[in-house]
Amino acid sequence: YSLDLRGFGATADQNVVVVVDGVRISENELATSRLSAIAPDMIESIEVVRGGSSVQWGEGASAGVINVVLKQGATKGVQGSAAAQVESFAGRDVNARLRVGGELAAFEASLRSYHSEGYRANSNNSQNVGALGLTGESGGLKYRLRLNQEDQDNRFPGALTFAQFASDPTQTLTPNDFGNSRETRWAGGLEYRAGALLYALDLGTRQRDTSSHYTGFDSETNVHSTQISPKIIYSAKTGTSALTLLLGADVQRWDYEAVNNFGQNEVASQSNNALYASGDVLLASQTRLVAGLRREQVRKTGDDAANFVAYDRSDTLSAWDLGVNQALSANLNLYGRLAQAYRLPNVDENRYLMAALRPQVTRDVELGAKWHAASGIQGSARIFQQNAVDEIAYDALTFSNVNLEPTRRSGLEVEGQAAITPQWTLNATLQTVKARFAAGGNAGLEIPLVSALSGTVRLSWKPDARQSVNFGLRYLGEARFGDDNNNTCAAKIPASTLLDARYAYQAQGWEWAVAATNLANSSSYSQAFSCLNGALYPDPGRKLSLTAKYSF
């Protein structure tokens, strides 16, 4: 599944940064960050920041950031859980977690083993994850150290034509394609508070090895990356006013090697050195002002003589943001935001090019409102516009990645939650995106693979303290095919509506649950790259699952 926050379509994953405890897990290749490698019971919070966010998180945060914070501290006692799930398509999911806490430290471990034969032929997916962690605090010092090992084996069922999808959406034309990866991540952090100052350090390293067979190509890659991110935060309060200042740095190194059976022997690297600062002021008038600036030097190199790859490009990039929030009452806030962000082409996007693509630069304008009421109703609404220069995307006409002519995205995002009664809760989201080329030969035309309208509705019912029922509805509007930059195709990727449901019963530490995704078994697809023949990827069919979980 792609993580698309603001309508980037085929490049959605490359425009979102995923961070776990201050360390990036986003890839520098055309790959999706695998949030499934994180045990849900280990997560303290997930923050989704929409819009350009490069000041703190650096390159790639053009559409936003998903910031995951894991549990830490030295809570006394023993906690844990064990769960087993069986599901459609010969699926099974077994996981366990243990946390032992003392006065100064807590030790945690988690294991997960997942396997599914998949909805389609040759779509097997296996994932085995193990994690160990040590967290604690003493006085003003907090620390954490975590090791995560992930092995994932995937089969690739490939794309289908319209006729093949209509005949049998579960078939494959690529029965031998596969991709396997082995990844080891270390992450650590320190925090020390001395009065109004907080000193923090985030550290991370990643080793990832892959092997794959794809339409005749046998390839292997080796990736090693490191990140060192120190920062200092000053916080002070005076009456009803408050000030927070942050000064931070990011040092990142990334090295890559790849070989395949067609003579590719590519060596690539990337080095990032950045300084950033931000300030946050809350005035007595309940006016909040935020400003930030980032300056980053990046060098990217790539060499593969057999395929005419030879680039060595250095760039100095800047990001900034300005924001103001005004509390009109205890329940209502209005805000406005301006921001500049950027992203760099990854190693796959620069492949087969004599010169690296230019960095993509975006500028955001956003206005919004947030409200909540004592009755249990809360929500937010925002309108946004983002202008991009040198957006990086694949061009089906030239069969290569290119810097596009200027583009523009604008839209409305609404989120809300209402406690209808003590037993019933309603959650809903709505997003409209108008994504168009702003200049050039396609000026005014729609950008492919972006749905103009999407939304979700989720209804939760708790008839008593032990039972819960959830119903969810997801709508995804129609979109242009991936090769339809000039908007000449009479057809579009059809809209789809998917329904899911879950019932759970809890008693004496146990939870039993039955769930279904795509309950109506709708036959749909949201990714398709050819107006002529489809080149489409079917969405999964109906999946049923049974789960038993014990927590202590």
**CA 197/CA 251 separation, integer angstroms:** 22
- R_g (Cα) of the chain, nearest Å: 24
Buried/exposed code over 405-420 (b: 16+ C-beta within 10 A; e: otherwise): bebbbbbebbbebbee
Q: Is 376 left (phi over 0), alpha (psi -120 to 50) or beta?
A: left
* pLDDT one-digit tens code per residue, 14-33: 999 999 999 998 878 887 78
Angle (CA) 453-454-457 rounded to 5° is 140
The pLDDT of residue 71: 86
The pLDDT of residue 74: 63
Asked if 351 and 309 count as a contact pair (C-beta separation under 8 A), the reply is yes
Asked if 66 and 18 count as a contact pair (C-beta separation under 8 A), the reply is yes
The pLDDT of residue 186: 97
* pLDDT one-digit tens code per residue, 351-387: 888 789 999 999 999 999 999 987 889 999 999 999 9
Residue where the block lists tokens 């819960």? 468
The pLDDT of residue 35: 83
Q: What is the mean pLDDT of the chain?
A: 94
Binned at pLDDT 50, 70 and 90, residue 1 comes out as low
Binned at pLDDT 50, 70 and 90, residue 395 comes out as confident
The pLDDT of residue 36: 82
pTM for the model: 0.91
The pLDDT of residue 76: 84
**CA 377/CA 250 separation, integer angstroms:** 40
Count of beta carbons in the 10 Å neighbourhood of residue 170:
17
Which of 59, 55, 50, 66 has the alpha carbon at shortest distance from 411?
A: 50
Summarize the confidence of residues 444-464 as an average pLDDT.
96
Asked if 492 and 535 count as a contact pair (C-beta separation under 8 A), the reply is no
**CA 501/CA 515 separation, integer angstroms:** 6
CA separation, residue 410 to residues 7, 55, 188, 191, 450 (Å) = 9, 21, 38, 39, 12
